[in-house]
Structure 1
Protein backbone atom coordinates (compact mmCIF):
# COMPACT_ATOMS: atom_id res chain seq x y z
CA UNK A 1 0.00 0.00 0.00
CA UNK A 2 1.30 3.45 -0.90
CA UNK A 3 2.15 5.79 1.93
CA UNK A 4 -0.20 8.77 2.21
CA UNK A 5 1.44 12.12 1.68
CA UNK A 6 -0.15 15.15 3.25
CA UNK A 7 0.09 18.20 1.05
CA UNK A 8 0.16 21.73 2.46
CA UNK A 9 0.02 25.04 0.58
CA UNK A 10 1.88 28.06 1.90
CA UNK A 11 2.10 31.60 0.60
CA UNK A 12 5.63 33.03 0.36
CA UNK A 13 6.24 36.67 -0.54
CA UNK A 14 9.64 38.00 -1.67
CA UNK A 15 10.35 41.63 -0.73
CA UNK A 16 13.27 44.00 -1.16
CA UNK A 17 14.68 46.84 -3.22
CA UNK A 18 14.84 46.81 -7.00
CA UNK A 19 17.82 44.95 -8.51
CA UNK A 20 18.73 42.97 -5.38
CA UNK A 21 17.97 39.68 -7.17
CA UNK A 22 14.50 38.71 -5.94
CA UNK A 23 13.34 37.37 -9.30
CA UNK A 24 16.69 35.68 -9.85
CA UNK A 25 16.40 33.85 -6.52
CA UNK A 26 12.91 32.63 -7.41
CA UNK A 27 13.97 31.63 -10.92
CA UNK A 28 17.05 29.79 -9.65
CA UNK A 29 14.88 27.87 -7.16
CA UNK A 30 12.10 27.05 -9.62
CA UNK A 31 13.88 26.74 -12.98
CA UNK A 32 17.44 26.01 -11.81
CA UNK A 33 18.83 28.74 -14.03
CA UNK A 34 20.01 32.35 -13.94
CA UNK A 35 19.23 35.09 -16.45
CA UNK A 36 21.83 37.87 -16.43
CA UNK A 37 19.42 40.34 -18.03
CA UNK A 38 16.19 40.12 -16.02
CA UNK A 39 13.76 42.97 -16.61
CA UNK A 40 12.48 44.65 -13.43
CA UNK A 41 9.29 43.07 -12.10
CA UNK A 42 6.18 45.17 -12.60
CA UNK A 43 3.67 44.68 -9.79
CA UNK A 44 4.41 41.05 -8.94
CA UNK A 45 5.20 37.70 -10.53
CA UNK A 46 3.86 34.35 -9.37
CA UNK A 47 5.74 31.05 -9.15
CA UNK A 48 5.01 27.77 -7.42
CA UNK A 49 7.16 24.90 -6.24
CA UNK A 50 6.56 21.55 -4.61
CA UNK A 51 8.99 20.17 -2.04
CA UNK A 52 8.89 16.87 -0.12
CA UNK A 53 9.95 17.31 3.52
CA UNK A 54 9.34 14.89 6.42
CA UNK A 55 6.73 12.93 4.45
CA UNK A 56 4.84 16.14 3.71
CA UNK A 57 4.48 17.87 0.39
CA UNK A 58 5.18 21.56 0.99
CA UNK A 59 3.75 23.61 -1.87
CA UNK A 60 5.03 27.17 -2.01
CA UNK A 61 2.97 29.81 -3.77
CA UNK A 62 5.72 32.37 -4.38
CA UNK A 63 4.87 36.04 -4.94
CA UNK A 64 7.88 37.95 -6.28
CA UNK A 65 7.14 41.65 -5.73
CA UNK A 66 8.45 44.67 -7.60
CA UNK A 67 11.16 46.56 -5.75
CA UNK A 68 10.70 49.98 -7.30
CA UNK A 69 9.48 52.67 -4.92
CA UNK A 70 6.38 53.37 -7.02
CA UNK A 71 5.11 49.82 -6.33
CA UNK A 72 5.80 49.86 -2.58
CA UNK A 73 2.19 50.76 -1.77
CA UNK A 74 1.07 47.48 -3.41
CA UNK A 75 3.22 45.29 -1.14
CA UNK A 76 0.62 44.86 1.66
CA UNK A 77 -1.72 43.31 -0.89
CA UNK A 78 0.91 40.62 -1.55
CA UNK A 79 2.14 39.95 1.98
CA UNK A 80 -1.37 39.88 3.48
CA UNK A 81 -2.00 36.28 4.51
CA UNK A 82 1.59 35.22 3.80
CA UNK A 83 2.98 32.33 5.80
CA UNK A 84 6.55 33.25 4.87
CA UNK A 85 8.33 36.45 3.87
CA UNK A 86 11.75 36.35 2.24
CA UNK A 87 13.37 39.78 2.47
CA UNK A 88 16.31 40.18 0.10
CA UNK A 89 19.12 42.73 0.03
CA UNK A 90 22.26 43.08 -2.08
CA UNK A 91 25.48 42.75 -0.03
CA UNK A 92 27.11 45.27 -2.40
CA UNK A 93 24.45 47.91 -1.67
CA UNK A 94 24.23 49.29 1.89
CA UNK A 95 20.98 51.15 1.17
CA UNK A 96 19.25 47.90 0.18
CA UNK A 97 20.36 46.44 3.54
CA UNK A 98 18.91 49.39 5.48
CA UNK A 99 15.68 49.16 3.49
CA UNK A 100 15.45 45.41 4.17
CA UNK A 101 15.00 46.15 7.84
CA UNK A 102 12.23 48.63 7.01
CA UNK A 103 10.46 45.69 5.35
CA UNK A 104 11.11 43.47 8.37
CA UNK A 105 9.71 46.08 10.75
CA UNK A 106 6.63 46.48 8.55
CA UNK A 107 6.10 42.72 8.41
CA UNK A 108 6.45 42.39 12.18
CA UNK A 109 3.86 45.14 12.69
CA UNK A 110 1.34 44.08 10.05
CA UNK A 111 1.43 40.28 9.80
CA UNK A 112 0.56 37.49 12.20
CA UNK A 113 2.49 34.27 12.47
CA UNK A 114 4.59 35.00 9.36
CA UNK A 115 8.03 33.37 9.26
CA UNK A 116 10.60 35.94 8.12
CA UNK A 117 13.89 35.10 6.40
CA UNK A 118 16.62 37.50 5.31
CA UNK A 119 18.83 36.76 2.31
CA UNK A 120 21.99 38.72 1.55
CA UNK A 121 22.22 38.14 -2.19
CA UNK A 122 25.20 38.49 -4.56
CA UNK A 123 27.63 36.86 -2.11
CA UNK A 124 29.75 35.93 -5.14
CA UNK A 125 30.84 39.60 -5.21
CA UNK A 126 32.80 39.68 -1.93
CA UNK A 127 35.27 42.27 -3.27
CA UNK A 128 32.41 44.76 -3.77
CA UNK A 129 30.83 44.07 -0.39
CA UNK A 130 29.35 47.11 1.43
CA UNK A 131 27.48 45.21 4.15
CA UNK A 132 29.71 43.39 6.63
CA UNK A 133 28.74 40.24 8.50
CA UNK A 134 29.13 42.30 11.69
CA UNK A 135 26.55 44.81 10.40
CA UNK A 136 24.14 41.95 9.71
CA UNK A 137 24.73 40.26 13.07
CA UNK A 138 24.34 43.52 15.00
CA UNK A 139 21.02 44.20 13.32
CA UNK A 140 19.76 40.60 13.59
CA UNK A 141 20.03 40.77 17.38
CA UNK A 142 16.87 42.89 17.36
CA UNK A 143 14.80 40.47 15.25
CA UNK A 144 13.93 36.77 15.46
CA UNK A 145 14.67 35.85 11.85
CA UNK A 146 16.94 33.50 9.89
CA UNK A 147 19.73 34.87 7.69
CA UNK A 148 21.62 33.29 4.82
CA UNK A 149 23.93 34.72 2.15
CA UNK A 150 23.08 33.64 -1.37
CA UNK A 151 24.09 34.05 -4.97
CA UNK A 152 21.43 33.42 -7.57
CA UNK A 153 24.07 33.88 -10.28
CA UNK A 154 26.46 31.23 -8.91
CA UNK A 155 23.77 29.06 -7.31
CA UNK A 156 25.13 29.48 -3.78
CA UNK A 157 22.80 28.52 -0.91
CA UNK A 158 19.59 28.77 -2.98
CA UNK A 159 18.54 25.16 -2.33
CA UNK A 160 19.68 25.47 1.28
CA UNK A 161 17.51 28.57 1.77
CA UNK A 162 14.34 27.06 0.32
CA UNK A 163 14.92 23.71 2.05
CA UNK A 164 15.24 25.57 5.35
CA UNK A 165 11.99 27.44 4.69
CA UNK A 166 10.17 24.20 3.82
CA UNK A 167 11.63 22.38 6.84
CA UNK A 168 10.53 25.18 9.17
CA UNK A 169 7.05 25.12 7.63
CA UNK A 170 6.93 21.33 7.98
CA UNK A 171 7.88 21.56 11.66
CA UNK A 172 5.30 24.19 12.57
CA UNK A 173 2.77 23.26 15.22
CA UNK A 174 -0.22 21.38 13.90
CA UNK A 175 -2.44 24.33 14.93
CA UNK A 176 -0.55 26.54 12.50
CA UNK A 177 -0.88 24.24 9.49
CA UNK A 178 -3.56 24.84 6.90
CA UNK A 179 -6.86 23.13 7.64
CA UNK A 180 -8.04 20.22 5.48
CA UNK A 181 -4.74 19.02 4.00
CA UNK A 182 -5.01 17.43 0.60
CA UNK A 183 -4.19 13.72 0.81
CA UNK A 184 -2.50 13.19 -2.52
CA UNK A 185 -2.78 9.40 -2.63
CA UNK A 186 -6.47 9.47 -1.66
CA UNK A 187 -7.55 11.28 -4.80
CA UNK A 188 -9.60 8.81 -6.87
CA UNK A 189 -8.34 8.17 -10.39
CA UNK A 190 -10.17 10.03 -13.10
CA UNK A 191 -12.03 8.11 -15.78
CA UNK A 192 -10.47 8.11 -19.20
CA UNK A 193 -12.73 8.88 -22.11
CA UNK A 194 -12.03 8.04 -25.70
CA UNK A 195 -12.79 10.52 -28.38
CA UNK A 196 -13.56 9.98 -32.05
CA UNK A 197 -13.57 6.13 -32.00
Structure 2
Protein backbone atom coordinates (compact mmCIF):
# COMPACT_ATOMS: atom_id res chain seq x y z
CA UNK A 1 0.00 0.00 0.00
CA UNK A 2 2.88 2.35 0.72
CA UNK A 3 4.04 2.19 -2.90
CA UNK A 4 0.53 3.18 -4.06
CA UNK A 5 0.53 6.10 -1.62
CA UNK A 6 3.97 7.16 -2.82
CA UNK A 7 2.63 7.16 -6.38
CA UNK A 8 -0.32 9.31 -5.36
CA UNK A 9 1.88 11.74 -3.44
CA UNK A 10 4.08 12.06 -6.52
CA UNK A 11 1.02 12.60 -8.73
CA UNK A 12 -0.74 15.26 -6.65
CA UNK A 13 0.62 18.83 -6.75
CA UNK A 14 0.55 19.32 -2.96
CA UNK A 15 -0.24 17.67 0.34
CA UNK A 16 -3.32 18.46 2.37
CA UNK A 17 -2.57 21.50 4.60
CA UNK A 18 -2.31 20.84 8.33
CA UNK A 19 -4.96 23.50 8.89
CA UNK A 20 -7.48 21.39 6.96
CA UNK A 21 -6.63 18.38 9.15
CA UNK A 22 -7.44 20.56 12.15
CA UNK A 23 -10.73 21.63 10.57
CA UNK A 24 -11.63 17.97 9.99
CA UNK A 25 -10.86 16.91 13.55
CA UNK A 26 -13.02 19.72 14.92
CA UNK A 27 -15.91 18.82 12.61
CA UNK A 28 -15.99 15.04 12.45
CA UNK A 29 -19.77 14.79 12.11
CA UNK A 30 -19.70 17.12 9.11
CA UNK A 31 -16.74 15.16 7.75
CA UNK A 32 -18.76 11.94 7.86
CA UNK A 33 -21.84 13.51 6.28
CA UNK A 34 -19.85 14.95 3.40
CA UNK A 35 -17.86 11.74 3.03
CA UNK A 36 -21.15 9.89 2.53
CA UNK A 37 -22.17 12.42 -0.12
CA UNK A 38 -18.80 11.99 -1.85
CA UNK A 39 -19.19 8.21 -2.04
CA UNK A 40 -22.69 8.55 -3.48
CA UNK A 41 -21.54 11.13 -6.03
CA UNK A 42 -18.62 8.89 -7.05
CA UNK A 43 -21.03 6.02 -7.73
CA UNK A 44 -23.30 8.37 -9.68
CA UNK A 45 -20.39 9.57 -11.83
CA UNK A 46 -19.41 6.00 -12.65
CA UNK A 47 -22.97 5.09 -13.60
CA UNK A 48 -23.30 8.23 -15.73
CA UNK A 49 -20.19 7.25 -17.68
CA UNK A 50 -21.62 3.77 -18.21
CA UNK A 51 -24.84 5.19 -19.63
CA UNK A 52 -23.06 7.67 -21.91
CA UNK A 53 -20.29 5.44 -23.27
CA UNK A 54 -22.03 2.12 -23.91
CA UNK A 55 -19.55 1.21 -26.68
CA UNK A 56 -16.50 1.23 -24.39
CA UNK A 57 -16.22 -2.29 -22.84
CA UNK A 58 -13.17 -1.51 -20.71
CA UNK A 59 -14.82 1.59 -19.26
CA UNK A 60 -18.07 -0.31 -18.62
CA UNK A 61 -16.26 -3.03 -16.71
CA UNK A 62 -14.16 -0.72 -14.56
CA UNK A 63 -16.97 1.74 -13.85
CA UNK A 64 -19.38 -1.05 -12.91
CA UNK A 65 -16.92 -2.33 -10.32
CA UNK A 66 -16.16 1.19 -9.12
CA UNK A 67 -19.85 2.05 -8.69
CA UNK A 68 -20.44 -1.09 -6.61
CA UNK A 69 -17.47 -0.31 -4.39
CA UNK A 70 -18.46 3.33 -3.90
CA UNK A 71 -22.01 2.36 -2.94
CA UNK A 72 -20.61 -0.17 -0.47
CA UNK A 73 -18.45 2.59 1.03
CA UNK A 74 -21.55 4.80 1.20
CA UNK A 75 -23.34 2.10 3.17
CA UNK A 76 -20.36 1.73 5.50
CA UNK A 77 -20.23 5.46 6.22
CA UNK A 78 -23.97 5.51 6.93
CA UNK A 79 -23.52 2.60 9.33
CA UNK A 80 -20.79 4.45 11.24
CA UNK A 81 -22.94 7.58 11.33
CA UNK A 82 -25.93 5.65 12.68
CA UNK A 83 -23.86 4.19 15.51
CA UNK A 84 -22.66 7.69 16.39
CA UNK A 85 -26.07 9.32 16.19
CA UNK A 86 -25.10 11.45 13.17
CA UNK A 87 -27.98 12.31 10.84
CA UNK A 88 -27.39 12.10 7.10
CA UNK A 89 -28.64 15.35 5.61
CA UNK A 90 -28.31 17.64 2.61
CA UNK A 91 -25.18 19.77 2.29
CA UNK A 92 -24.36 22.58 -0.08
CA UNK A 93 -21.79 21.30 -2.60
CA UNK A 94 -18.11 22.12 -2.19
CA UNK A 95 -16.45 24.27 -4.84
CA UNK A 96 -13.87 21.54 -5.50
CA UNK A 97 -15.48 19.25 -8.09
CA UNK A 98 -17.44 22.07 -9.73
CA UNK A 99 -14.31 24.16 -10.27
CA UNK A 100 -12.42 21.21 -11.72
CA UNK A 101 -15.28 20.38 -14.09
CA UNK A 102 -15.42 23.94 -15.44
CA UNK A 103 -12.29 23.07 -17.43
CA UNK A 104 -13.83 19.93 -18.98
CA UNK A 105 -14.19 20.20 -22.75
CA UNK A 106 -17.69 19.95 -24.21
CA UNK A 107 -17.06 17.57 -27.13
CA UNK A 108 -15.75 14.03 -27.24
CA UNK A 109 -13.22 12.51 -27.12
CA UNK A 110 -11.88 15.52 -25.19
CA UNK A 111 -14.86 15.52 -22.84
CA UNK A 112 -14.38 11.88 -21.86
CA UNK A 113 -10.63 12.34 -21.40
CA UNK A 114 -11.16 15.34 -19.13
CA UNK A 115 -13.94 13.74 -17.06
CA UNK A 116 -11.70 10.73 -16.46
CA UNK A 117 -8.74 12.94 -15.48
CA UNK A 118 -10.95 14.80 -13.01
CA UNK A 119 -12.10 11.45 -11.63
CA UNK A 120 -8.49 10.35 -11.19
CA UNK A 121 -7.59 13.53 -9.33
CA UNK A 122 -10.61 13.32 -7.01
CA UNK A 123 -9.85 9.68 -6.17
CA UNK A 124 -6.17 10.45 -5.61
CA UNK A 125 -6.98 13.36 -3.28
CA UNK A 126 -9.49 11.22 -1.39
CA UNK A 127 -6.85 8.55 -0.87
CA UNK A 128 -4.30 11.14 0.26
CA UNK A 129 -6.74 12.62 2.76
CA UNK A 130 -7.79 9.25 4.18
CA UNK A 131 -4.12 8.49 4.82
CA UNK A 132 -3.47 11.94 6.30
CA UNK A 133 -6.49 11.74 8.62
CA UNK A 134 -6.16 8.16 9.85
CA UNK A 135 -3.37 8.73 12.42
CA UNK A 136 -5.46 11.43 14.15
CA UNK A 137 -8.79 9.58 14.40
CA UNK A 138 -10.31 7.13 16.86
CA UNK A 139 -9.64 3.46 16.19
CA UNK A 140 -12.92 2.76 14.38
CA UNK A 141 -12.60 5.64 11.94
CA UNK A 142 -8.85 5.15 11.53
CA UNK A 143 -9.34 1.48 10.61
CA UNK A 144 -12.16 2.35 8.22
CA UNK A 145 -10.24 5.07 6.42
CA UNK A 146 -7.16 2.88 6.20
CA UNK A 147 -9.30 0.12 4.69
CA UNK A 148 -10.39 2.50 1.90
CA UNK A 149 -6.87 3.31 0.72
CA UNK A 150 -6.42 0.31 -1.54
CA UNK A 151 -9.65 0.78 -3.47
CA UNK A 152 -9.27 4.55 -3.79
CA UNK A 153 -5.73 4.13 -5.11
CA UNK A 154 -6.97 1.61 -7.67
CA UNK A 155 -9.81 3.91 -8.73
CA UNK A 156 -7.30 6.71 -9.34
CA UNK A 157 -5.16 4.44 -11.51
CA UNK A 158 -8.18 3.04 -13.41
CA UNK A 159 -9.44 6.53 -14.23
CA UNK A 160 -6.02 7.65 -15.44
CA UNK A 161 -5.51 4.52 -17.56
CA UNK A 162 -8.94 4.95 -19.16
CA UNK A 163 -8.14 8.61 -19.89
CA UNK A 164 -4.90 7.67 -21.60
CA UNK A 165 -6.69 5.03 -23.68
CA UNK A 166 -9.50 7.42 -24.64
CA UNK A 167 -7.02 10.08 -25.72
CA UNK A 168 -4.85 7.74 -27.76
CA UNK A 169 -1.95 10.08 -27.09
CA UNK A 170 -0.19 11.79 -24.20
CA UNK A 171 -2.50 13.42 -21.68
CA UNK A 172 0.27 15.04 -19.64
CA UNK A 173 -0.68 18.59 -20.67
CA UNK A 174 -4.33 18.09 -19.69
CA UNK A 175 -3.35 16.42 -16.43
CA UNK A 176 -1.07 19.34 -15.61
CA UNK A 177 -3.86 21.83 -16.38
CA UNK A 178 -6.24 20.13 -13.96
CA UNK A 179 -3.57 19.60 -11.28
CA UNK A 180 -2.79 23.33 -11.31
CA UNK A 181 -6.47 24.05 -10.67
CA UNK A 182 -6.58 21.39 -7.96
CA UNK A 183 -3.55 22.80 -6.15
CA UNK A 184 -5.21 26.20 -5.92
CA UNK A 185 -8.45 24.67 -4.61
CA UNK A 186 -6.62 22.67 -1.93
CA UNK A 187 -4.42 25.52 -0.73
CA UNK A 188 -6.74 28.52 -1.16
CA UNK A 189 -8.87 29.48 1.90
CA UNK A 190 -12.42 28.17 1.70
CA UNK A 191 -15.67 29.47 3.16
CA UNK A 192 -17.07 26.07 4.22
CA UNK A 193 -15.56 22.84 5.46
CA UNK A 194 -15.99 19.83 3.21
CA UNK A 195 -14.04 16.63 2.58
CA UNK A 196 -12.37 18.25 -0.45
CA UNK A 197 -12.34 21.86 0.73
CA UNK A 198 -9.38 24.09 1.28
CA UNK A 199 -8.55 25.42 4.78
CA UNK A 200 -11.56 27.18 6.26
CA UNK A 201 -11.14 30.83 7.22
CA UNK A 202 -14.66 31.69 8.36
CA UNK A 203 -16.71 30.18 11.20
CA UNK A 204 -17.88 26.64 10.43
Give the structure-1-normalised TM-score. 0.25
Larger radius of gyration: 1
Give the structure-2-normalised TM-score. 0.25
Q: Name whichever structure is richer in helix by fraction.
A: 2
Q: Name whichever structure is richer in strand by fraction.
A: 1
